[in-house]
Structure 1
């Protein structure tokens, strides 16, 4: 397999990794893919398993998360009018499901990390530890907010998710886009590579082709415009050792401006339905 980029785990282990091109799809794979992947999540630095607001970076992350929660719930509301059942895979600390419940959704969620599940439970959001625990029923909507890139055994996981969708159900997948301007600007320091926790790195074409062969079609693509700013902020820290807010804002803004014409935003939401 052809090498694309050499990078490292800047947030936890500091170990070196390589991104290689997939032989068939326009996507990248992390090499090596550790068998003991759990230890790379066991850090206070892994922010999506935390509700911490101690540092300015953490406060920025939590602010962006609150702003985008409303947008995410509004998006799924557009596709379902009745029997509003939703399964969130990789639910983290449960904020999205909590917001969905406030809008009348019947919620279910999966989160492998025990500390994140505890924080979700404090919000009255009860999460399962694995997908097998929620396979007793089908759902109108299944969401993966920056989760697909974490899943080992990717093809089988996709098949499981599709099997849990109702006949006219909707799958919503949000992932980083390595063809974005900020990814090309920061190269090996781009925070959204997040190796080795991110096992896969997707392009728009890769998502379309990956799900098409499983009978799913992309019916809508939406940008996550805040991601370029947050990812650039973290990338600046990895690259320079400093939190350069001005430079990060400039890169994030330019990434979004470029994407108006190229459609290559830092992160994208894909809405998929059975063909």
Structure 2
């Protein structure tokens, strides 16, 4: 993209260490076709895009059809499959939330998209709130749950507190990482949970597809957490890591996108078939390798 404005980081966004090295260059296959450098922090293990678009200049990089969480309508087969899987995942997510807090309570979904999860949570008795920066998705969300979705964390009502806060594939997009997480924790009740789902750069599909792995998703994904980085994340923000859960469907979706990046000329049928094989293999390998799934859900609690 022409006339882009990048910011160069001199410290790790997570631990603030100045000790990091260039890791590898990854191309933005989805939108701009530009290369971006990933750095690896030798102190905490976080990988991060550096330099990166600023918060004010990154919006055009989200302008592509495959960014499905901002839309409710299926425009192609992949999006239709995505929405079917999303519907199933919503039921699984709500079942797990209820297991953590059987009496329900106040629930905040950060990066709620079109609020499908919040709508269903509300019907089960949760008092729901959402944060969604994307204007199109936010307007659609607010049409469903009447003004309960805010543009940013700063818009939350003063003194609001939550029993559960979720960030499903959101943390890797947040520019002000430390500031945002600290603010979220301030809004978390003393016995509350914060759930974070993120891609895993050490999964089988990440290794298989290499630079074509869709989980890199530069420059939209600003960070990549391995287990070391997650453990340091918990220590930095004084959280207790209670559980790590697999997000088994992600391996198929990520493999599908990765196949398209690796070989854009292959037929749709071949791409889907190879993605199914790859996703299944990735999940099978994860069982052998201490839970290295394509994406994991990390369940934290205040200490």
TM tier relative to shorter chain: over 0.9
The residue correspondences of 1:1-150 to structure 2 (distance < 5 A) are: 1-35=20-54, 36-82=57-103, 84-124=105-145, 126=147, 127-136=149-158, 137-150=160-173
The CA distance in 1 between the partners of 2:257 and 2:138, in whole Å, is 25
How big is the alpha-carbon RMSD for the aligned residues of Structure 1 and Structure 2?
A: 1.3
Aligned residue for 1:272, secondary structure, equals: strand
SS of equivalent to 1:99:
helix
Report if the CA contact (8 A) 2:109-2:166 is conserved.
yes
Q: Is the 8 A contact 1:149 1:200 kept in 2?
A: yes
Equivalent residue, structure 2, for 1:246: 273
The alignment partner of 1:238 has SS state of: helix
Task: Return the alpha-carbon distance in structure 2 between the equivalents of residues 264 and 238 of structure 1.
Answer: 22
Query: TM-score scaled by structure 2?
Result: 0.87
Gaps of 5+ in 1: none
* Conserved? CA contact 1:144–1:173, under 8 Å: yes
Cα separation, partners in 2 of 1:268 and 1:125, compared to 1, 3 Å: farther
Q: Could you state the TM-score of these two structures normalised by the residue count of structure 1? A: 0.96
**CA 1:232–1:30 in structure 2 vs 1: closer, same or farther (change >3 Å)?**
same
Q: Give ranges in structure 2 of 5+ residues lacking alignment.
A: 1-19
**Local SS of the residue matching 1:193:** coil
Q: CA deviation at 1:135?
A: 4.9
Match of 2:179 in 1: 156
Larger Rg: 2
Aligned-residue offset at 1:26: 1.8
1:193 Cα deviation (Å)?
1.0
Q: Could you say what secondary structure the match of 2:258 adopts?
A: helix
Encode CA deviations 1:137-175: one digit per residue, 9 max, x unaligned. Answer: 111000000000001121111111111100101001100
Moved runs in structure 1, 4+ residues, more than 6 A? none
Structure 1 residues 173, 135: CA separation in 2 closer, same or farther (over 3 Å shift)?
farther
- How far residue 125 of structure 1 moved from its aligned partner, in angstroms, is 5.4
Assess if the C-alpha contact under 8 Å between 1:97 and 1:125 holds in 2.
no
Give the number of equivalent residue pairs: 275
The answer to whether the 8 A contact 2:166-2:195 is kept is yes
